[in-house]
Structure 1
Amino acid sequence: MTVTKIKSHEEFEKLSCSGKPMVIDFWAAWCGPCKMISPVFEKLSNEIDGLNFVSVDVEDPNFGLQEHGIRAMPTFQIIENGVKVAEMVGADQVKLRVCLLPYLHPPFSFLFKSFLNAVNCKPLKTNRPSFVF
């Protein structure tokens, strides 16, 4: 699978409600860490079939960025059924892989989410299991 470049909020909404979880890379062309993590994100898109991998240029004026709460780049978010369930800020490929573990091995996702909770990841304020790294 490849990374889909999102150009509009309408595209984003369509993918986020497609029924398949989505991981988003919010990046900027001038961001050095974004450039470093981009090949890792691309590689992960080929390793994990259970997610839509998308990228959003934070400087694209056609995308309504404010509602996603992006304050630093790169920021990665996981969306399930239109709801943000996880977020990671920074270019740490180990943290990114850990964040995606539940999707790499779905039968064991409850164990991974328990592990993430045990290592003191902050849950997002939703009624679903979710984490901030």
Structure 2
Amino acid sequence: MSISTKAAVPAVTDATFADEVLASDVPVLVDFTAAWCGPCRMIAPVLAELAAEEDRFRIVSLDVDENPATSAAYGVMSMPTLMLFRAGEPVRSLVGARPKRRLLADLADAL
């Protein structure tokens, strides 16, 4: 199964974060990621799969090296950090890669 992560999980930037995430009318899970991060590469296919299946929330990725302002604003220090935003506010923050079932369980009460 070869899902193109880039196509399934759109990237946001410092410039588009407010419109794409904070102003969204559905919850948005932001994958704070980096090209050099091994665990980020491990969770990418899981997020791509979820992006294709989920209709309760959107998933976007933000490269922390290319977009330091947003990463700093939310105190992101470790990658991957997955942050769920609802109504413009971060409501859940998870650090580290995890299997799809555990990720959904960790997000369930915040959705």
Q: Report the equivalent of 1:96.
A: 103
1:4 and 2:10 correspond = yes
Q: Report the equivalent of 1:73.
A: 79
- Are the aligned partners of 2:32 and 2:71 in contact in 1 as well (CA < 8 Å)? no
Instruction: Show structure 1 runs of 5+ residues with no match.
Output: 103-112, 114-129
Structure-2-length-normalised TM-score: 0.82
Alignment coverage as a number of residue pairs: 102
Shift of the alpha carbon at 1:62? 6.4
Runs of 4+ in 1 over 2 A off after TM superposition: 61-64
1:87 corresponds, among 78, 90, 93, to 93
2:19 corresponds, among 10, 14, 37, to 14
Shift of the alpha carbon at 1:40? 0.4
Provide the C-alpha distance between the structure 1 equivalents of 2:67 and 2:23, rounded to a whole number of angstroms: 22
The aligned amino acid for 1:70 is: V
**What SS is found at the alignment partner of 1:35?**
helix
Shift of the alpha carbon at 1:95? 3.2
Structure-1-length-normalised TM-score: 0.69
Instruction: Show structure 2 runs of 5+ residues with no match.
Output: 1-6
**What SS is found at the alignment partner of 2:39?**
helix
Select the structure of larger CA radius of gyration. Answer: 1
Provide the C-alpha distance between the structure 1 equivalents of 2:48 and 2:78, rounded to a whole number of angstroms: 20
Query: CA 1:65–1:47 in 2, change beyond 3 Å: closer, same or farther?
Result: same
Q: Which moved more, 1:91-100 or 1:79-88?
A: 91-100
**Percent of paired sites with the same residue:** 34
**What SS is found at the alignment partner of 2:70?**
coil
2:61 corresponds, among 9, 31, 55, to 55
